[in-house]
Each structure stands twice: as structure tokens, then as C-alpha cells.
Structure 1
Amino acid sequence: MARPRVLVTRSIPEPGPSLLQAACEVHIWPEALPPPRAALLEAVRGCHGLLSLLTDRIDAEVMDVAGPQLRVISNLAVGVDNIDLQAAARRGIAVGHTPGVLTEATADLTWALLLAAARRIVEGERYVRAGEWQTWDPLLLLGTDVYGATLGIIGFGRIGQAVARRAQGFGMRVLYHSRRTMPSEVTAQAVDLPTLLRESDIISLHAPLTPATHHLINRDTIRLIKPGAILINTARGALVETAALLEALRAGHLAAAALDVTDPEPLPADHPLLALPNCIVVPHIGSASRQTRARMAEIAARNLLAGVHGAPLPHAVALPAPSAEE
């Protein structure tokens, strides 16, 4: 019996490739950048399974070009906003993701960015390298206290709660805004969005990207934010209206921002955000520890293997009820 054919849209860490190669005919896209649209459509033809990344737009066209034998799409990410879930539901294609495993790594990075922005670490490092450090100065690079500050968390799922746990060690007051009140092992107060924006010294975004959260942070909501607050985004770039963020940072309404994700992503090298001293941007590395990425690859591979063999996915996405055909 022929082995199932699967496409992996980028090189991924072990043990992902080895698990797949032991049971499937595997094609791994070899380039550093995602496959261009035409190349993706050509490579997916005849595949029983597709292991995708959040940079790949997996829509009805991709599914139809793959063919009716496509059984599973396994996304190497928690979020699946790059996949048309309605189209998958209509075609009976299972969709998998990698929840839970990257929670702590992403929370760690959130705190790295939070502390770096509050205490102006990147500005200070550049100041030293530029040869500008002459003496101790009581007015040099004054930042914001973290200990005892109010932290506002938008989106209080696994990652948001992990960020809140870390805040306990800093004696912070924690507010959160979420679609529903969440049980939590940490002391945190559920509030509406305007209250969170007005009262938080530091705001950290951990909401999924949906039509309701697209540009959640925009010109109108930024006006509600306490002057001098700091914004952290390690969720999805499009939660923030980039032009509005740029205006708020330039005007000094926001003291700083630290972004692991951007809109667009990546930002062009000449984007004005990258010229601002009070904006830290890193290249979407929230889950980028060796241990976490290896576990993500393993989960994605096991989701794919289950799907191509008609078994339930270990980490399946709940698909919407199929709507009318296109």
C-alpha cells in the first residue's frame, strides 16, 4: 500500500521530520522563506496531509487543488487564523494546532519585552555601543517602575494567565479583559476594556485574532489609555492598528511599545516604527526556545499522522458547522 503523501511548508525541528518520514512520503519546502502561492499550489497537489505554518494562507483554493484525498491540515501554531476553517469543515478536513506547549515560552518573552521596554534596556545598550556613556547621570534613561504597577492583560487564556502568574513576584495589581470571566490561580480582576485601558500602567495583548479583535487597539481605544503607559504585543500583529500606534509613540502618549508581532509582518526595514527609540520590535520569537519548538514540531507531526490515517487528532481545532457550499 502506498504511503500517504504529505507536504511540510518549511523546515521544522526534530523530531517532527523523522516522525513523518517513518510513515509517509514527505516533501519539505526547502527554502528559508514561505513557498510562493504558485509553488504552494503545485506542491500540495495529491497530498493527504498538509503541515502548515502561520505564514501560509490555507484557503479553499489550496484545499481543492490538493484534491479530495486531503484529510488533515496541521498548523505549527496555536492560532489558526491563516486557515479557512469553514472551507475545511465543508470538505471534512480535520485541522490541528499546537496549544499549551508554547504557553510558558511566550509568557517568558512577554516579560522580557515588558522589562526591556519599562527600563529602556535596548536604548541603554545602544547608548553604550554608540560611545555616548560618559558618567553616571541621575537623569539618564529614566524608565517606569514595574514593581507595584498595574498590569492590564487583554485575553486571559493560557498565556495571559501565565503572564499574570509572573506578575505576582513583582507585587503587581493585575486587571484582565476577556470574552468571559476566567477561573485563575492568580489574583486578577475582570474589568471592561475601557477600565483596563484607563487604569493600566502596562498593557499586554494575548487575545486571538478574530473579526472582533482586529485593530482592537486603534486611535479610539488608544485615547483611553493612561498617558505614559506601555503596550506589549506577543499575540497577533493585527490586534493593533499600526498607524495609530506610531502616532501615539511619536506624541509621547504611550511611553513605549514592545512588539513580537506586527502588521504587516515582517515590517519593512524602512518602516517608521523601527526608527523610534521607544519601540522594540523582535521577529516573532515568542515560542523560540529549542525545547518549545521541538515539542511544537512533535505535536504538529502527530496531528498530521493521526489525520492521514483517519484517527482523531490529539490536538484538534473545533471546526464551525459547515455552511453552504461555495
Structure 2
Amino acid sequence: MAGTGDFAGHGRPDADGGPARHTPVLLQEVLDALQPEAGKVILDGTFGAGGYTTALLERAADVVALDRDPGAIAGGQPLVDAWKGKLSLHQSRFSLLDQFAPKGGLDGVVLDIGVSSMQIDEADRGFSFQKNGPLDMRMERAGVSAADVVNRLKAGDLARIFGFLGEERQAGRIARAIEKRRVEEPFSTTRDLARLIETVTPRKAKDKIHPATRVFQALRIYVNDELGELVAALIAAERALKPGGRLAVVTFHSLEDRIVKRFFAERSGKAGGSRHLPQVELIAATFVPVGKGLVTPGDEELSDNPRARSAKLRSGQRTEAQAQRADMSVFGLPDLAELNAIGG
């Protein structure tokens, strides 16, 4: 999570793994949800190249922007200089966004989930199998890499990662092949891993995506703890928003969208209670829906940018109720704690 995406197609690969254009997705819809204006302070938790941030500033709002990628922070300094006093930019995961809220709270938060086109475009980041580079995938350029994961985890653990985070049907076969091959030579490049996957699950004529797409997605999500970061960010936004403040979240994958949908359902009292905890009292709703709920790109945007077809926007408005306790168990995330055991 804490990604750097504010681009069409969110920088996710298209059917052939290519990068998307650098254009904000659902921009007008996000602005309609947040209603930026003079006097409002809005936090952009996924700064990227500053697409949403710039649009918010142009509508007179003050912006606090975060990004976990040091490259995005460096690239955003000219924008900070151009909007002196209106924009502050910080390197941070968006799970910590409440630490950057002003004393009176935020008027809005926007999160655009996942990896950005900038990261996909840079071969040395190791996000794309279309560009040969080190098998890295770390948004923060620090910590455990994708190479560490594929070279050190057992086949059973790799299969769980590929199956859940990538929804890969051949997860077991691919994981066993990886475990066998790495004995001879560890994996170090994106192309090396992609070729191994191709030998295990050859691409068929009817296939719309490359055989390595889902495995690469799973590795990236796992290395960066993207789902855990998303849950923590939603909870942090609940704490940071003032009554009447709005939260807008753009997702591009079913795993992410299910988490956001569940969060708003839980917080608006429409989830039917948690199956994990006894409901001994009614809990006041902390969010109410904004607009019609789920928003997707219109025909015009899809015509201009077909890669935005998977984008989904969900928004909610903060009530005066006290923030609920941070219970991450209701989101049903699997225990994939093996990452911490790999070491740096």
C-alpha cells in the first residue's frame, strides 16, 4: 500500500504488462467527492507525480501529501516550491497519515492504491517483467526484496502468497518449480523469474495476460504489505478526519476493493455486525456514504484510457461519532507473517 499511483490505469500493467499513461484516474469524480475549496486541508496519501495534489491545490485547498517512495518525494519538490505555504510533502507510509493531520482534523483524504506508472517504467525497481531488472519491487527501496522472498521462502508459503494475493490458479506448480530451480541458481532478475513461470504455465492463444502477471502482482503486494497498509490507512483516516470530512479511495483490484467496501459497510453500520466479536451494543456509524456509493470510469474516460477500466472509487463522509477501535481482524486478511522472518 501507500502506493504512488495517481495515473490512468494506476500504472498497473495492461494485458501485455506495459505501463499506463501518467494521467489521474477518476479525477473529476474524486474532486466531486472531496469538494476542495479555500480553507480546507486535504491529505493526499499517494502523491506519486502529484496529479490529485495539483488538482486540489488549483481549487484553493491546502494539501498535505505523503508517499513512501523517496523518488516521488524528490520529484515533488518543484511542486512544493511552486505552491509555497499551500503544500507540504512528506516521505511516509499512508498507514501513518493521522500523524500528519492538523490539530483540528482533516477535511479530506484521498488514497489511490497500488503501484505507479513511474515505478513500472523504471527497470531498476523490478516491478515489471517487461523490463529486465533486479527482482526488487520495494516501494521504499529498503527492507526485504522480491528476490529474498522467492529465494528463501518454502514452496508452501510461496503458493499461499501467489494463490491469495495473486489469485493464481497454478500457484502450487509455480512455487514448486521456483524452489527446485533456485537450488541451482538463485533468482536475481525479473526476466529470469518470468521465464521460469512461462515454462511452468505456457501462454495460450486465448490468454489475455502474461503467465507471470499474477505472480508479480502477488510478490509486489506481499513485499510492500499493501493490504495491511490499506487497512491501517483506512483506520488512520477515520481518526484524522473531522466531522463532515470525506474519505475517497480509488482501487484497481478486487482484493483492495473488498477491503474498502467492507470498511465503509462496517463503519456505516451496514455490515450486519462482525462475525468475530459479540455485538453487545450498537456502535454509532462513523461514516455515511457519499453519493451513490461505488463510482467507476465513464465511457469518455474509458475511451481515452481503456486501462482505467478496473478503477473503482468509494467515498464516505465522517460523522461526529467517536472513531471505532482499530480491529483489523474483521477484514479477513490471511496471516502472511513469514516476511518478517526472512530478515533484511
So what's the TM-score if we normalise by structure 2? 0.38
- Structure in which a larger fraction of residues adopt helix: 2
Please identify the structure whose Cα radius of gyration is greater. Answer: 1
